[in-house]
Every structure is written in C-alpha cells, then in structure tokens.
Structure 1
Amino acid sequence: MSKDYPVPAGYLERETEVKKSRFIARVVPVGSREEVKTWVEKAHREHPDARHVCWGYQIGRPGSAAEAAMNDDGEPSGTAGKPILNVIQHKDMGDVLVIVIRYFGGIKLGAGGLVRAYAGAAESVLSAVERVVQQPVVETVVTMSFADEQPVRHWCEVHGAVVESVDYAASVTAHLQVPENGVDDFVAFCEAQKLDYSLER
C-alpha cells in the first residue's frame, strides 16, 4: 500500500556525545510492531555492552498515527522514550522508528540532561534522513489481446503507472498500479481501446 505522507527513505545512523556518554541514534522506516521488535532486538544484539537501548516510534499518518509507543529501557521514566517520540511527532513523518543506544561515560546527566541528550540524538538523525512520499495508487486489472499489450505498456510509461505482472493465456491479463490522480485517464484509454478493465478501490 502506498503512503501519501512522508516516511524515512531508509536506514540512517548518527552518533553524538554528551559528557562522555555516547548516544548512537538510528532511524528506520517501519510498518508494524513486529518490525519495531526486530530492529530493537538487532540493536541489543549489536551493542550488548550498551547501558540502555531506548526507542520511540509511530506508524501511520503523522498527526493521527494509528500506533505509537516508546521505551526508556531502564532510564528514569520519561527521560528517554518520551523525548525521542516527541521529536518524531514534530517531524511530520510517519512509519518511523528511532532507537538511541547509550554507552554511559561515567558522568550522570540528571533528568533534564537525559531529556536533552535523547531529544538531541533523535533530532540529529531525523534531520539528516531523507524522506519520501509515495502517491496513492489504484490496483487495476486489464484483459486484452496480444496486440494491445504494447500500447498499454506505453501508456503506463507515460503516465507513471507500474506493470506488476502479466499473465499470458488465450488473452493477456495485466495487473497494474495506476496513480490515483491518473485513473480517469486510464479509464478513458481503456474505453477508447475497447479493453476489459477493473479497478480495485
């Protein structure tokens, strides 16, 4: 399913240091709680000596996320997960997980210092990550003769539609993803060419 809101373009890591404590911040696009769990477990495996692995995430549209959660992983309540999530929520980005891995440097930061450090680490990685917006698409199926396949492929190239799969039998059946704003053009094209089509809205 495509997203018409910004999501992280991919994985990114940034490191900051505050009073000898190392804060390694990671951002990654996620679509489910299972994915979040997998990434958090990976961070624990890769940094077994870290004092804390804290995180926050939101899935769904920014401002009305379907799901959001956070974890302080042993830091004083509200000093790690909450500031991470707050930064995420101010970034107008959905489907995003930020993990901050802390190596303690021997100097206590205090509650206010921890909040600033975790928020700063989250900010550093979220400001650096590229974002992508996928436009909404409509799944369509077209049944046509072999002669019609090339014109349909050409229409898709011109209009930014994606040919997902093509099945060849007595006729040709193509599964397409058509940008939502191009559906009317697609319908007009199919009717002009006398093609059988269906839209899955």
Structure 2
Amino acid sequence: MNDLPYLIPESSVEFQEEIKKSVFITQLAHTPSIEAAKAFIESVKKQHSSARHNCWGFVAGRPEDSMKWGFSDDGEPSGTAGKPILAQLSGSGVGEMSAVVTRYSGGIKLGTGGLVKAYGGGVQQALKQLQTIEKKITINLQLELDYAFLPIAQSLFAQYQAIEIDAKYSDHIVLMIEIEQRVVNDFTQNVINKSGAKAIVTPLSR
C-alpha cells in the first residue's frame, strides 16, 4: 500500500474572503514533514502577528496517514476551526500539505456554525485553486552485471522507468539506479531470469 504514488501540492495557494466584517486568509503549502508543517505555521503566525487567530491543520505525510495529522483552534471555540480545516485537507486526497487560516476579527460574532463554515469553506476554496503533482515512492538499487547483459538491462530500465544514477566499469559493471518501489520485485525477477541469475541486484538504503 505504502509504495503507491500520491498527490502533493505543486505550489502554495492563498485565498482571502470577508465574512461579516471578519477577514479570513487561507494559506496552503507543501510541507513534507511534521517539522516542515510546524515551521510553515510559525512563519504565517509571524506574518500575521496582529491577527486575532491563526488556526491551522496539516496532513504531513501520505493523505491517509492519520499519525501525521495535526490541528489547532488557536483560541477559537473548540471544534470550530482546526477540525473543519483538517477535514478539508484529509478529504482532499492530497498529502504533505498544511493550511493556516488567519482571522482578522471585525467585531461581529459568527456563531459556532458560522465559524465552522468560514474556516472549512476557506480551505475548500483554496483547494479548488491548488495544483498538484504525483510523488512517486522510489528506492535505489545496485546492479552487478556482465558487459554482455548491459543492452538487456538498459531495455529493462526503459520498461520500468528506472533512472541510472551512477556507473562503475571494471571487469564487470556496477550500476546504481533509482526505481519505483512498487515495481522492484517484478524488475528484480526479470533481471535474474534474463541474465540466467548472473546479475546481482542489491537494494540500497536511502
């Protein structure tokens, strides 16, 4: 399951709207880890230090990995800001993403339902503008092979969209390639079969 590709944000998005004299500014950003998410949240808090609330949520890993989710109401009534923000993020199918919704209060109370709608709605609108790219889960492999097998190996690289990173030539060839994790077993089996078990494939830790 975890070797499948998933979507991540390609670039940051900002969406702003005014609701009953309160200004809500939603910022989305690509944050590949919990540390990156927290750093982004802190940067927005500094940027909008005079705002009454900087509420946030993040999905810092794969979209479905709830161990890397987080949220905060930042002084708004419990459940009215952080949870609606996180609900939009976790429902989007996009991973490695954080949202901070800044509120400059206009003095008119929005009520619990109004706040949920404002915070969740801001993220929903920002998500409509979001451009995403696919993140592939890759691994590095080392291949030791004879010169005679090189053309076959290179045709397999093309077939499995593997990228050659490094090559050392002596009495035999040692190649390092980057390949999608989900096709490694299939690729390795093919190399062994086609080389008559002469080629050696070794996974390298990243």
User: Structure 1-normalised TM-score?
Assistant: 0.81
CA positional deviation for 1:25: 1.1
3-state DSSP of counterpart to 1:66: helix
Over 3 Å counting, the alpha-carbon distance change for 1:118 and 1:158 in structure 2 is same
Provide Cα deviations, 1:153-181, integer angstroms capped at 9, x if missing partner. Answer: 55423431123x31536354322222323
Over 3 Å counting, the alpha-carbon distance change for 1:9 and 1:190 in structure 2 is farther
70-79 or 105-114, which deviates more: 105-114
**Count of residues in correspondence between the two structures:** 200
- CA distance in 2: counterparts of 1:142 and 1:108, whole angstroms: 65
- CA distance in 1: counterparts of 2:103 and 2:90, whole angstroms: 22
Q: Which residue of 2 aligns with 1:96?
A: 97
Q: Which residue of 1 aligns with 2:11?
A: 10
CA RMSD of aligned residues (A): 2.9
Equivalent of 2:201, from 165, 178, 197?
A: 197
Amino acid at match of 1:99: V
Amino acid at match of 2:86: L
3-state DSSP of counterpart to 2:51: coil
User: Conserved in 2, the CA contact under 8 Å of 1:166 and 1:172?
Assistant: no
Over 3 Å counting, the alpha-carbon distance change for 1:65 and 1:3 in structure 2 is farther
Over 3 Å counting, the alpha-carbon distance change for 1:23 and 1:147 in structure 2 is farther
Quick check: 1:44 aligned with 2:45?
A: yes
CA positional deviation for 1:149: 5.7
Equivalence map 1:4-153=2 (5 Å): 4-144=5-145, 152-153=153-154
Q: Which residue of 1 aligns with 2:157?
A: 156
89-98 or 59-68, which deviates more: 59-68
136-145 or 96-105, which deviates more: 136-145
Over 3 Å counting, the alpha-carbon distance change for 1:22 and 1:150 in structure 2 is farther
- CA distance in 2: counterparts of 1:27 and 1:70, whole angstroms: 14
3-state DSSP of counterpart to 2:66: coil
3-state DSSP of counterpart to 1:174: strand
User: Which ranges of structure 1 fall in alignment gaps of 5 or more residues?
Assistant: none
3-state DSSP of counterpart to 2:101: strand
User: Which ranges of structure 2 fall in alignment gaps of 5 or more residues?
Assistant: none
CA positional deviation for 1:52: 1.4
Over 3 Å counting, the alpha-carbon distance change for 1:132 and 1:2 in structure 2 is farther
User: Structure 2-normalised TM-score?
Assistant: 0.79
CA positional deviation for 1:97: 1.3
3-state DSSP of counterpart to 2:80: coil
88-97 or 151-160, which deviates more: 151-160
- CA distance in 2: counterparts of 1:131 and 1:101, whole angstroms: 23
Amino acid at match of 1:166: D
Q: Which residue of 2 aligns with 1:184?
A: 186
Over 3 Å counting, the alpha-carbon distance change for 1:182 and 1:197 in structure 2 is closer
CA positional deviation for 1:129: 1.3
- CA distance in 2: counterparts of 1:82 and 1:38, whole angstroms: 20
Amino acid at match of 1:93: V
Amino acid at match of 2:126: V
Over 3 Å counting, the alpha-carbon distance change for 1:139 and 1:75 in structure 2 is same
Provide Cα deviations, 1:5-45, integer angstroms capped at 9, x if missing partner. Answer: 33333322222221232211122232322111110111122
- Percent identity between matched residues is 29
